[in-house]
Amino acid sequence: MRVVIVGSGIVGAAAGYELTRAGADVVLVDSTAPGRATSAGAGIVCPWSSRVEDPDWHRIAVAGAEHYPELLASLAADGETEFGYRRVGALRLVTEAEAEDALRLVAERAAKSPMAGDAELVSARRARELFPPLAHDGPAVHLPGAARLDGRAVRDALRRAAVRRGARTVEGTAAIVVDGGVRGVRVDGGFIGADAVIAAAGAWSPRLLEPIGVRARVTPQRGQIMHLRLPGADTADWPVVLPRTPHYLLAFENSRVVVGATREDGTGFDHRVTAAGMAEVLGEALAVAPGLADATHMETRIGFRPMGPDILPLLGPVPQVPGLIVANGLGPSGLTIGPYAGAVAARLALRAAPGIDLAAYDPLR
């Protein structure tokens, strides 16, 4: 069985890897368009502390978080071990007034997922010990099971492992060919036959799907995210920090601190670092962690998040085009849900049970 995957960000790469493990003939097709979401994502895996309340989002986000240990073990067996993945914990910053309710909510979610660990309320002093640049003067909900990872590294490891197992990669612009069902894809004039196609082209999906009559309610949302270096600081074990705004802070080895991110609608695919974007990201970061004021600016990354009609992914088969599976619309949750969504798409391409009820994630809604 041959499956063509259009888009090899973290979702497409994960689908390709799972399919090669199952013995399928896999072709990964991708373009070189700048701004792919995986390349710019922060890498936070902590759905239990999220302020999102939708139960269907939590169901798939927690499944995504719990999928990582198994996936990374499988990749390690295939010789891939560098992902920047570490369970460093997370601090959800709260006020005294909301602390009790926030702890109760996070603890209830964490109790259903052994990976999350035991939630506890810590003092402002303890929070600063864990993440020294902080200036938060209230409590924080600490969750030890939260993780961070390097999305680029995970994506690249998935691609390499898939290729070693026989996958082919093709660079170019794809067009899906249908005739009563999927027949394959054309890539810059050449034709690749397929029994199934997984459309994982992120924010570019409307260009891929609308020519075959499939409405993809996906739009690009620009995100600008900054990488800083704090000279002399051992940042490897600092927790993820989740302020009371949609912004965040997280740290990696080599004194690197990542802060972000903007959520800019209506920008199209305008791949630029803007003065307003930099001001927003730095302003939010320094308001929470003024100890970062002396950090060195390393780089600003730009990604176009694929935003669907709501917070939920677009994931599942397209009934009017047999053989077509959509895996998209993950928005700001791409690195949490992406590998799991890719694995679900792979099962669907193989005509196997997806392992999760997909009704809420209907790709045509």
* Distance separating alpha carbons of residues 286 and 230, to the nearest angstrom: 13
332 inside domain: yes
pLDDT of 29 > 90? The answer is yes
Q: Is residue 122 within a helix (H) or strand (E), and if so which, with residue range?
A: strand 120-122
Does 227 lie in the same domain as 297? yes
Does 320 lie in the same domain as 285? no
Percentage of the chain beyond pLDDT 90 is 98
Mean pLDDT of 62-66: 98
On average, the pLDDT of the chain sits at 97
Q: What is the pLDDT of residue 78?
A: 96
Domain that holds residue 337: 2-39+152-218+310-361
50 inside domain: no
Mean pLDDT of 303-329: 98
59 inside domain: no
Does 335 lie in the same domain as 296? no
49 inside domain: no
Q: What is the pLDDT of residue 219?
A: 97
70 inside domain: no
Does 327 lie in the same domain as 299? no
Does 352 lie in the same domain as 281? no
* Distance separating alpha carbons of residues 186 and 199, to the nearest angstrom: 14
Mean pLDDT of 130-134: 98
Does 244 lie in the same domain as 134? yes
- Residue 32 banded pLDDT, cuts 50, 70, 90: confident
185 inside domain: yes
Q: At 326, which CATH number?
A: 3.50.50.60
Does 297 lie in the same domain as 158? no
Q: What is the pLDDT of residue 14?
A: 98
156 inside domain: yes
Q: At 112, which CATH number?
A: 3.30.9.10
| Burial of residue 122, with CB atoms counted within 10 A of its CB: 0-12 exposed, 13-18 middle, 19 or more buried | middle
pLDDT of 54 > 90? The answer is yes
Mean pLDDT of 153-174: 97
* Distance separating alpha carbons of residues 251 and 231, to the nearest angstrom: 13
Q: Whose structure tokens read 């995210």? A: 225
Mean pLDDT of 61-80: 97
* Distance separating alpha carbons of residues 223 and 275, to the nearest angstrom: 13
Q: What is the pLDDT of residue 265?
A: 97
Q: What is the pLDDT of residue 252?
A: 97
